[in-house]
Structure 1
Amino acid sequence: MSMRKNLLALALALSVTPAFAQEKTFELKISHWVPASHPLQKAMEDWGAAVEKASGGTIKYKVFPAQQLGKAKDHYNMARDGIADVTYVNPGYDPGVFPIIGAGELPFLMSDAKGGSEGLDAWYRKYAEKEMKDVKFCLAFIHSPSSFHSRTKKIVVPEDIKGLRIRPAHATMGNFVTLLGGTNVQSSAPEVRDIIERGVADGVTFPWGSLVLFGVDKVTKYHMDAPLYVTTFAFVMNKDKYNEMSDRQKKAIDDNCNTEAAGRVGEPWGKFEDAGVDKVKAEPGQEVYTLTPDQLAQWKKAAEPLVKTWADGVKAKGVDPDAAMAELKASLAKYNALTQ
């Protein structure tokens, strides 16, 4: 009888054991390509910590900064292939591959990093499965509106780009430089100082805080203070790793792969970049200048063909560009980040 009681007690104990006691423990390799001193490092650590907490400690994480696991432009493929589990991607590093999210790169569209990140993310969710189908899309975000920084001459009107060699932030700005008679010099962010210092490039489109962080302020002199463009980014995850997880673990990921999380990533980075304007202004020998309304109008007019180029790329993906752009603007307006 006592043996039977023991067996019953054991069966009862097993029946009430929490499900997560049977869960596999994961350690996510989270990879990015900027220095560990960049605000993105803390954002990714905070993201990992939030997932770990939500998973009851069954999902651990380690962040690998500064291209330790692979080059900047390879980060989408790294997540796809399982070289890393979660990666930070600049879709613009692969021209033509991610045309839909490229809408966020169009000039004079977004005014604010936090709201812009939320607006972009909320809008892109319906398109991510079409465009980033090889990975699990987590969230999309932007940095603060940014502009041109040059070593050789002051860039005031579109004609000033003619003959210059510019490192563009992404494919859309690359198209803009070509349209204006300039030449593109491709490089990842960590390589920008070197190519300008060596005279391979005359200037760059870059956000302000990163200008200082990467030392690009040491090799540039003229800085346009105008909300010309933003860069779109994404966190993506290896699908196989996600699919191995329990329902509870998947929920821990999903609860940190949403529009609110996008704002949490975009906001501190935006503040970091915005603070860079005053840092550059305080440096000797730097010229930070704003544009007149007439000059700004010239830039907006010059950028109009970029919308058609974007629309053509989106049509090739089977998406209505007019509807997609209207949806994006409505989403940005909802989050108070649409440039007036």
Structure 2
Amino acid sequence: MTTSKPILAAGAAALFALPQGASAEVTLKVSHFLPAVHGIHTDFIEPWTEQVSACTDGEVQFEISAAGSQLGNVARQQEQVMAGVVDIAHGLHGIPRGRFPRSSLIDMPFLTDDAGAATAALWSLLPGPLAEEYKGLKVLALHAHNGGLLHTNGKKVETMADMEGLRIRTPSPAVSDMLSFLGATPQGLPPGEVYENLQRGVIDGTVFPWDPVNSFGLNEVLTHHLDFGAYTVSFFFVMNENSYARLSPEAQGCIDEFSGDPLVARFGDWWDDWDAPGHEQAVAAGHEITVLSPEARAEWAEALQPMIDAYLEKQVADGVSDAREIYGAMQEKVAAFEPAE
């Protein structure tokens, strides 16, 4: 009887031992805040997990939590991945306010209306002035959407004066300041709450690219659209550094292979595809779509320059000492990456 425990222990060790050179299967938790029918999920995150899993021969598996799940809150993506509640998260830089002030400078009014250019500019600046915002994280991708429009219910907006008094949902601090400067009242709401608030008349409109108009069914509660390409909003796709470090070298190599440059390069085309249905629905519904001319867009941009200067000054006062330099670098990068007309 005295030998039973060692024999049992040896048997258990043999039962659970892995073949030499094999790695234990790992399940990584991934969270994001969009519906599981959204292109972010169907075209980007889900295929990405499948590619990585296949590359690892099944060593790495994934469990994805989207909007509506316990882990799908837009305001908690960064804290969840930092705390290790999830291993990988996709979220908005501007929600909650103030966590990524440097990266969020890409959201400044009339900096660009092109997702590909904004995305490339962000990614190119990551190794330098943006790096400190991602301590404890492995950045898999940064990206931004195409130029946002103003969508309203029952109210046509064509000029800056038409903005006066409108209650408009806002996605980020920079856009909030833009709306306030133009005389509107910004309303901070998660994307999933916009439909109900438009329907109830709590807000008059929202700023979004075409994509969320489709994703959240907003054409049902909208009537007018001003295509002025006034801003972009940026996103992060990040992994907890400890989660990455615990993977085998082979699994880390697979993560790296399908992230970074090759992944970032796809967002421009993806956003064009994701935007198309929202625009098509609005046209089919007979909505009035006003497109701001390049000359008028330049007038809006010039009028907003005092707001931009004040925003950068506030960022400096709040501790982002190089805010003006980062914004200047973003202007240069965007100009370099924007498609030729």
**The TM-score by the shorter chain falls in which range?**
0.7 to 0.9
2:310 & 2:80 partners in 1: Cα distance? 28
CA contact (8 A) 2:27 2:61 kept: yes
- Which whole-Å deviations, capped at 9, do the CAs of 1:15-66 have from their partners, x for residues lacking one? xxx9993433221211111111110012001221222233343211122221
For the residues of structure 2 that align with 1:106 and 1:190, how far apart are their CA atoms? 23
Alpha-carbon distance in structure 1 between the residues aligned to 2:241 and 2:219: 39
SS at match of 1:93: coil
SS, match of residue 253 in structure 2: helix
What is the aligned partner in structure 2 of residue 23 from structure 1?
A: 23
> What letter is aligned with 2:32?
H
Cα separation, 1, equivalents of 2:336 and 2:61: 35
Whether contact under 8 Å (1:40, 1:269) holds in the other structure is no
2:125 is matched with which residue?
123
CA contact (8 A) 2:113 2:148 kept: no
Cα separation, partners in 2 of 1:298 and 1:336, compared to 1, 3 Å: closer
Would the alpha carbon gap of residues 249 and 218 (structure 1) be closer, same or farther in structure 2, given more than 3 Å must change? same
Provide the C-alpha distance between the structure 2 equivalents of 1:111 and 1:176, rounded to a whole number of angstroms: 15
| Residue in 1 that maps onto 2:298 | 297
State the 1:336 CA deviation. 3.0
Q: Write the letter of the residue equivalent to 1:96.
A: G
Residues 252-298 of structure 1: CA deviation (Å, up to 9, x unaligned): 222333132112244313321144223211213x1101124553233
Partners of 1:126 and 1:53 in 2: how far apart?
Answer: 33
8 Å CA contact 1:106, 1:307 repeated in 2:
yes
1:48 aligns with 2:43: no
Q: 1:213 to 1:318 in 2, by over 3 A?
A: closer
AA of the residue aligned to 2:41: Q
Q: Please give the secondary structure, in 1, of the residue aligned with 2:265.
A: helix
More displaced, 19-28 or 86-95?
19-28
The amino acid that maps onto 1:240 is N
Alignment of 1:73 onto 2:75: yes
Letter of the structure 2 residue corresponding to residue 288 of structure 1: I
Structure 1 pair 124–156 and aligned structure 2 pair: CA distance change class (3 A): farther
| Normalised TM-score (structure 1) | 0.86
SS of the counterpart of 1:110? coil
- Matching residue of 1:262: 264
C-alpha distance in 2 between matches for 1:23 and 1:128:
35
Relative to 1, partners in 2 of residues 1:116 and 1:259: Cα closer, same or farther, differing over 3 Å?
A: farther
Using the TM superposition, give the Cα deviation of residue 333 of structure 1 relative to its aligned residue in structure 2, in angstroms. Answer: 3.6
Aligned to 1:8: none
Alignment equivalent of 1:190, drawn from 161, 181, 192? 192
Query: Following TM superposition, by how much is the alpha carbon of 1:148 offset from its aligned partner in structure 2, in angstroms?
Result: 0.4
Cα distance in 2 for residues equivalent to 1:111 and 1:290:
13
What amino acid maps onto 1:34 in structure 2? L
What CA distance in whole angstroms lies between the structure 2 residues aligned with 1:293 and 1:117? Answer: 22
Q: Could you give the per-residue CA deviations for residues 136-183 of structure 1, whole angstroms, max 9, x where no partner exists?
A: 222100112121001132112222222111101222111111222221
Residue 171 of structure 2 aligns to a residue in which SS? coil
Matches within 5 A, 1:1-340: 21-42=21-42, 43-68=44-69, 69-284=71-286, 286-312=287-313, 314-315=315-316, 316-337=318-339
Asked if the contact 1:158/1:298 (under 8 Å) is kept, the reply is no
Q: Distance in 2 between matches of 1:323 and 1:212?
A: 36
Counterpart Cα distance in 1 of 2:224 and 2:328: 35
Q: Conserved in 1, the CA contact under 8 Å of 2:219 and 2:281?
A: no
**Quick one: structure 1 residues 263 and 300, their matched pair in 2 at CA, closer, same or farther if it must change by over 3 Å?**
same
The one-letter amino acid of 2:202's match is V
Partners of 1:156 and 1:224 within 8 A in 2: yes
When residues 263 and 245 of structure 1 are mapped into structure 2, their CA distance, relative to the original with a 3 A threshold, is: same
Contact 1:94 1:171 in 2 (8 A): no
Q: List gaps (5 residues or longer) in structure 2.
A: 1-17
* Structure 1 spans left out of the alignment, 5+ residues: 1-17
Q: Following the alignment from structure 2 to structure 1, what is the Cα–Cα distance between the partners of residues 92 and 34? A: 12
For 1:115 and 1:55, how far apart are their aligned partners in 2?
A: 32
- Measured after TM superposition, the shift of residue 328 of structure 1 is 2.2
Q: Distance in 1 between matches of 2:270 and 2:20?
A: 33
Q: Secondary structure at the match of 1:127?
A: coil
Instruction: Report if aligned partners of 1:41, 1:63 keep a CA contact under 8 Å in 2.
Output: no
Q: Which residue of 2 aligns with 1:3?
A: none
**Structure 1 stretches of at least 4 aligned residues deviating more than 6 Å after TM superposition:** none
Q: CA separation in 1, counterparts of 2:213 and 2:73?
A: 20
RMSD of aligned alpha carbons: 2.4
Report if the CA contact (8 A) 1:23-1:246 is conserved.
Answer: yes
Matched-pair contact (CA < 8 Å) for 1:99–1:310: no
Distance 1:239 1:232, change over 3 A: same
